[in-house]
Amino acid sequence: MKPRIHYTKPSITELEVSYATEAAINGWGEKCYEYINRFEEAFKAHLGVKYAIATSSCTGALHMGLAALGIGPGDEVIMADTNWIATAAPVVHLGAKPVFVDILPDSWCIDPELVEAAITPRTKAIIVVHMYGNLCEMDRLMEMGQRYGIPVIEDAAEGIGSQYHSKRAGSMGIFGTFSFHGTKTITTGEGGMFVTNDADLYETVLTLSNHGRAHSQTKQFWPDVVGFKYKISNIQAAIGCAQMERIDELITRKRDIFRTYREALGGFKEISLNPEPSGTVIGAWMPTVVFARKTGITREQLQKAFLDENIDARVFFWPLSSLPPFSEFHTDSNVVAHDICSRAINLPSYNDLTENEQSRVIAVVKNILGY
């Protein structure tokens, strides 16, 4: 049998190992926040934002940000139907209602026109997700948010390396959130980041992140509010510091892998790949192939074809409205979200994917197409 090709895995070098080891040996007591602070400083410098808070997950960062905005029972939060459940879960945890709208057929990101049509007096936020590193139409969405007085939030869990007219994904909304799960371009194993340029929002989230203890509070063990426990560990942050020293290299490698896929497969009219419109740069976290409806190719056929070659390939996200937890929000109107997921597949794209391995992946796609 041919060697296994995984769809993703992190890039860990001796630098990450040395930082994590040093944190494990010395990162305690008065040094227990040392790597966390360094990680936050490096990340906000890369992103070009004023404030950053390292968290235990992107989901936690989103949960705290929504809570800080006062989202609660009776409120509605608009988001794309094509998403991972992590985007919707914090909304539900806060007692608010997720409102699922359809996606654009080319970028697979939220459709701005449908966002505007879904706005009601109960709409308290719009969450936009840069799907697989593709970019949402931020100018339209930000203008809309300003016009209606609704905060636009960027779930940039998949958007590291992506730029919208020279602005990095996650830096444009009222706040942005990032994931450092082991599958992501930058990893800490598990972890996330909350970023914002709003000083008041930063202070509120900073307090919420540590059991409601404000950093300005002089009394020891004195919470001012009931908060959360969404802090990252110093050892995880140490790995993050090493990853940030390599971030340009990691992003470049992702784009090189995507470029190879695009050069090999971009000429076939029967498929489409992640788009990169003028003025944008995609971080290409997850190269994805969508087969034209006329080919009759199904998700299940794609899974089998890759499995037969001992290659891991991820299915496209199911529409959230199709999942059991959201059955009450099910809608038949989001036709693009329900259609594309049935004929698309994510391709392997980890950092040390070899030329031979990528050729094997490309060969499967061509074989499916009959070439």
Q: What is the mean pLDDT of residues 347-356?
A: 97
Token reading at 246: 């390599």
Cβ 33 vs Cβ 234: under 8 Å: yes
pLDDT-derived band at 214 (thresholds 50, 70, 90) equals confident
Tell me the C-alpha to C-alpha distance, in Å, between residue 369 and each of 40, 257, 312.
46, 21, 19
Q: What is the residue whose two structure tokens read 């087969």? A: 291
pLDDT at 37 over 90: yes
Tell me the residue length of the chain: 371
Distance from chain centroid for Cα 141: 18
Task: Give the C-alpha separation, 80 to 22, whole Å.
Answer: 42
Token reading at 11: 């890039």
Task: Give the C-alpha separation, 237 to 214, whole Å.
Answer: 21
Give the pLDDT score at 217.
Answer: 86
List the one residue out of 132, 130, 126 whose CA is nearest residue 153: 126
Task: Give the C-alpha separation, 188 to 95, whole Å.
Answer: 30
Choose which CATH entry (3.40.50.720, 3.30.300.30, 3.90.1150.10, 3.30.420.40) describes domain 247-369.
3.90.1150.10
pLDDT-derived band at 1 (thresholds 50, 70, 90) equals confident
Read off the pTM. 0.96
pLDDT at 23 over 90: yes
Ranges for all domains in the chain classified under CATH 3.90.1150.10: 247-369
Task: Give the C-alpha separation, 317 to 164, whole Å.
Answer: 23
Give the pLDDT score at 328.
Answer: 85
Domain 14-101+108-245, what fold?
Answer: Aspartate Aminotransferase; domain 2 (3.40.640)
What proportion of the chain, given as a percentage, has pLDDT over 70?
100
Dihedral sign computed on CA atoms, order 133, 135, 138, 139 = positive
Task: Give the C-alpha separation, 10 to 184, whole Å.
Answer: 7
pLDDT-derived band at 218 (thresholds 50, 70, 90) equals confident
Q: What is the residue whose two structure tokens read 């970028």? A: 107
Token reading at 360: 């094997």
Cβ 346 vs Cβ 313: under 8 Å: yes
Q: What is the mean pLDDT of residues 97-110?
A: 97
Tell me the C-alpha to C-alpha distance, in Å, between residue 357 and each of 265, 307, 347.
15, 14, 11
Give the pLDDT score at 92.
Answer: 97
**Plot region of 216 (φ>0 → left; ψ -120 to 50 → alpha; else → beta):** alpha
pLDDT at 358 over 80: yes
Ranges for all domains in the chain classified under CATH 3.40.640.10: 14-101+108-245
Cβ 191 vs Cβ 209: under 8 Å: no
pLDDT at 330 over 80: no
